[in-house]
Amino acid sequence: MALTQLGQIAMMTSDLALLGRLGGHVVAAVALAHTVLFVGFVIGMGVVSAVAPLASQAFGARDPRMVRRSLRVGLWAATLLGVPLTLGQQYGEGLLLALGQSAETAHLAAQYLYGLAWSLVPAWWFIAIRGFMGSVNRPEPAMWITVAAIPANLLLAYALIYGAFGLPRLELFGAGLATTFVNIAMCAAAIWFAYATRPFKKYQILGRFWRCDWALLGKLFWVGAPISGSFLLEYGVFAAAALLMGSIGTIQLAAHQIALQIASIMFMVPFGISMAATVRVGHAVGRGDAEGTRRAGLAALALATGFMATMTVLVALSRHHIPWLFLGETAPDADATATLTATLLLLGASFFIADGIQTVAAGALRGLNDTRIPLIFAALCFWGVGFAVCYVLGFPAGWGAFGIWIGLSLSVMLYAVLMVWRFNVLTKRGYLPAVKPV
């Protein structure tokens, strides 16, 4: 699961590295485009992420019919949410202008969004199917699909950005379009694996697909909507930080995007571990094993903490070299962007470990269907504390980009503390959610 997540972020990273050769202003535009896209993307991602705990609990309870139904309602939810949110991405330029971004950067971001927006539904379908595969203890096909997609995305993005191999030069639009084509192919491959290969085909995932399971769809939203809300609050504060950076300057926004991309790469491993925690905790819930839920969650937390501590040290030591992986040496303001990026990476070391811990704790709590209290924690930490500190230190205090990253660090560390506390309290008293047929 962790390797699958790394593969997905590798595709985004390769896009950024290819586009960075066009200049820092293009990197800044990509940052804004991702900001707009992720606001829509995380809404659906949270809902379809609920497939994993529901299917895992059903698998632990030895109820294969409920496993299939859980995936089916996830695919329905992805489609119902995807149509309006995909269309909404087409108005990204106007939104960015209304938020005070420069006309040039907003226009470039819109070109990327025009190609990228159509990836929402296939990406959500893939997440739902990946959750189903993990819930039955067979996540490998999703990993192999993602591994195959990395070079495919790199070649197609390069060809469409720069006009290679006889294809037109589309630059930002081409990068977005390449990602969409690759996501469609990944979705198609996942459907085939889930429908036609062992051990998945016995679940007959497309059986009666045309019939919407309204009762279970309601439960999916009941569990998944707070996950979406938590994701939206978390990613929203990072999106707001990007907008604050953009109002300071293009160099600050480009440096922020590169540093955040490195943080995202590291984050993908604990995020994959969090998905495994959801599955293992869900299995224990389905079996009625209270001690197993605690053991699975604590093991995942220990694994993520060790990994992130190691990676934080490596990033701190190589912080002066990392920015040049994303910047052309002849690009305007490259030296200033690289210097600021290195400083942000050192400053961000304070929250990298906490970021890994909070996502694993959140995954373990999802396995317990505990998603509402974490939503309250997210609102408090990311906006009540995080955004307020970002703004005050960034502008009235005059600390600029450094103040914004300090605010992000404080919000993530506080959230991690509260999430671990919540999991510890629930599992110490042997809490298990009721697993009943719908």
Per-residue model confidence (pLDDT) at position 328: 64
Amino acid occupying residue 309: A
Q: Are 332 and 23 in contact (CB under 8 A)?
A: yes
d(CA 150, CA 10) in angstroms, rounded, equals 7
d(CA 23, CA 220) in angstroms, rounded, equals 43
Per-residue model confidence (pLDDT) at position 330: 60
Per-residue model confidence (pLDDT) at position 117: 84
What's the token pair of residue 89?
A: 């991405």
Which residues in the chain land under pLDDT 70?
Answer: 1-13, 20, 24, 328-332, 434-438
Estimate to the nearest angstrom the gap between the alpha carbon of 129 and the chain centroid.
16
Q: DSSP letters of 180-248?
A: HHHHHHHHHHHHHHHHHSTTGGGG-TTTTTTS--HHHHHHHHHHHHHHHHHHHHHHHHHHHHHHHHHHH
331-347: string of b/e by CB count within 10 Å (b at 16+)? Answer: bebbeebbebbbbbbbb
Per-residue model confidence (pLDDT) at position 137: 87
Amino acid occupying residue 204: Q
- Nearest alpha-carbon partner for 55 in 237, 392, 341, 283: 283
pTM of the model: 0.81
Distance of CA 217 to CAs 47, 134, 225, Å? Answer: 10, 20, 11
Per-residue model confidence (pLDDT) at position 80: 92
d(CA 98, CA 94) in angstroms, rounded, equals 6
d(CA 32, CA 92) in angstroms, rounded, equals 9
Domain ranges (residues) in the chain: 2-428
DSSP 286: H
Q: Three-state SS across 56-83?
A: HHHHHCCCHHHHHHHHHHHHHHHHHHHH
What's the token pair of residue 320?
A: 């002066």
Residue 386 makes CB contacts below 8 A (sequence gap 6+) with: 237, 407, 408, 410, 411, 412
Q: DSSP letters of 403-436?
A: HHHHHHHHHHHHHHHHHHHHHHHHHHTT------
Per-residue model confidence (pLDDT) at position 9: 61
Distance of CA 401 to CAs 132, 138, 148, 323, Å? Answer: 41, 43, 37, 16
Distance of CA 94 to CAs 43, 246, 358, Å? Answer: 21, 16, 34
- 3-state secondary structure at position 16: helix
What's the token pair of residue 336?
A: 């200033």
Per-residue model confidence (pLDDT) at position 296: 96
Q: Are 68 and 204 in contact (CB under 8 A)?
A: yes
- Nearest alpha-carbon partner for 230 in 332, 359, 348: 359
d(CA 362, CA 401) in angstroms, rounded, equals 28
Per-residue model confidence (pLDDT) at position 419: 97
Distance of CA 420 to CAs 52, 91, 192, 433, Å? Answer: 21, 39, 38, 18
Amino acid occupying residue 402: F
Q: Are 293 and 285 in contact (CB under 8 A)?
A: yes
Per-residue model confidence (pLDDT) at position 28: 75
Question: What is the per-residue pLDDT across 21-63, written as a single tens digit (0 to 9) for each?
Answer: 777 678 778 777 877 887 788 888 889 989 999 999 999 988 9
Distance of CA 379 to CAs 225, 364, 410, Å? Answer: 14, 19, 14
